[in-house]
A and B are shown apart, each in its own frame.
Chain A
Amino acid sequence: MAVKVKLPTQLRANAGGASEVSVDGATVGEALEGLYAQHPELRERLADGDGGLRRFVNVYVDGEDVRFGDGLDTAVKDGAEVQILPAVAGG
């Protein structure tokens, strides 16, 4: 599956300035592995030591937080948009 990963401004310096990266993967976890394969520095920023995400990293598939799905096992369709954003809220 071809998937588009959208990067927040805070991560673009670690991805050669790119705001979007095209990767292959059938799940969110696979898409992120594809992202790390292209830009290894991003793994340390996003992943915790146990194969999960750091606690202030939010990941969305087509606008839906993956924690409403199966987390990193959430399936992604061909052409899906995976968005990474820092957790920030209060209004």
Chain B
Amino acid sequence: MAVTNLKCRECGEAYELTAQYVCHKCFGPLEAAYDHSTLGSDPSELKRRIQSGPQNIWRYVDFLPLEQGQPGPSARQLSRVGLPAGCTPLVKADRLAERLGLGEVWVKNDAHNPTHSFKDRVVAVAAARARELGFDTLACASTGNLANAVAAAAAALGMPSYVFIPADLEEQKVLFTGVYGTNLVKVNGNYDDVNRLCTEVSGERESWAFVNVNMRPYYAEGSKTLAYEIAEQLGFRTPDRVVAPIASGSLYTKLAKGFDEWRALGLADGDAPVMNGAQALGCSPVATAFEAGTDVCRPVKPDTIAKSLAIGNPADGPYAVELANRSGGSIDSVTDDEIRDGIRLLAETTGIFTETAGGVTTATLAKLAERGDIGRDERVVLVITGDGLKTLDVVRGTFEAHEIEPRFDAFESALGVTA
């Protein structure tokens, strides 16, 4: 295995690979560190090993913070437990590109995961590491998609689970969680209240693996697999630009880490992509900080239909701002009406129905295109993180249906079509 230790992102202090997430010296977040030289120096050999792996994220186990799982065909062992995630479609979206006046757009459709969002990736890694460390229970604080993923993974692994959500979450996400037999805790408050409670609970329940609290350094690494897949699906090349949503900023920053690792190893050709982050105007602390030219993200009280992105106090916000600046990108925000239009635009041009977070991302792509930020020669990847079936309320009443008697003339007159 290439992972060596956990390291503080602020002061560099190193820690063993246990369930801790905070630097004891400076309170900074811990991140997994690797020594990739253990993987050899031949990119072709590494590519062969990846390609002989299973059709899920475990083909990338070399680059994940786990002890188990040998690379190549034997990574299939990992696929036999839990809910393997990943290997989702990368779809060439020519009609979307044409509508926006762009040259080349691809949609990474991560709604194609076991519980229909990218969260299955991070949960698969966190749950695998939790088992290695001997935890008996899975838990999380969630804005919805993570709730689905943790409840389902726990069911598949036969582990008890506790899922904490804001009480006002979309009904579809609540039902999609409860059905797995988890202990569902609806907290009267917003996500930041839920998160604060879970940070406290996590300290008092030492046998619980809170995937996004004490397991966070492992959990967050799972998002890198999205970058690996995009690169592999483009023929081991990086795209020129990536547009991705920002809630806490974890996915956005880990996408860049994934591309950077593969470029350094010679696994992906091309430059580091320009990274564009997308937030909803009603919860845009990172976009606000970016615009103000600071990395200090002042917390906000979220008020947006994009509930899966409604984190008012984004822990990785400073790193997201740094990445946007470093990569030559930006972090933009869009209104609730633009989010609805974004959902519609993606659906009408690609056949992909995304939830509100995907509406945010698509609307941001449209905004960048309109502003002239994207060159005609650029290869752009739009990261769609979740399924429209989870946020059905926002499309209700946005189209017309024709209700008719079962007669041919009624059909012709209602639709105004005659031969």
Contacts and interface: CB of A to CB of B under 8 A. Distances in A.
Interface stretch (A25-33, A72-80, A83-91): A83-91
Contact of B27 (A86, A89, A91): A86
A45 B27 contact: yes
B220 interface: yes
Contact of B199 (A13, A67, A86): A86
A70 B299 CA distance: 13
| A8, A44, A55, A60 — most chain B CB neighbours (10 Å) | A55
B191 interface: yes
Interface residues of A, number: 25
Given A65-B299, A67-B299, A91 B313 contact: no
A67 B22 CA distance: 21
B218 interface: no
A10 B27 CA distance: 9
B193 interface: yes
Interface stretch (B60-68, B74-82, B139-147, B342-350): B139-147
A9 interface: yes
Contacts of B204: 9
A49 to B, nearest CB: 12
Given A10-B22, A45-B27, A89 B315 contact: yes
B318 interface: yes
A67 B192 CA distance: 13
A68 B314 contact: no
| A54, A63, A68, A90 — most chain B CB neighbours (10 Å) | A90
B324 to A, nearest CB: 17
B26 A88 contact: no
Contact of B196 (A10, A13, A60): A60
Given A63-B193, A91-B143, A56 B315 contact: yes
B12 to A, nearest CB: 14
The 3 tightest CB contacts between A and B, nearest first, are A90-B248, A9-B203, A89-B315
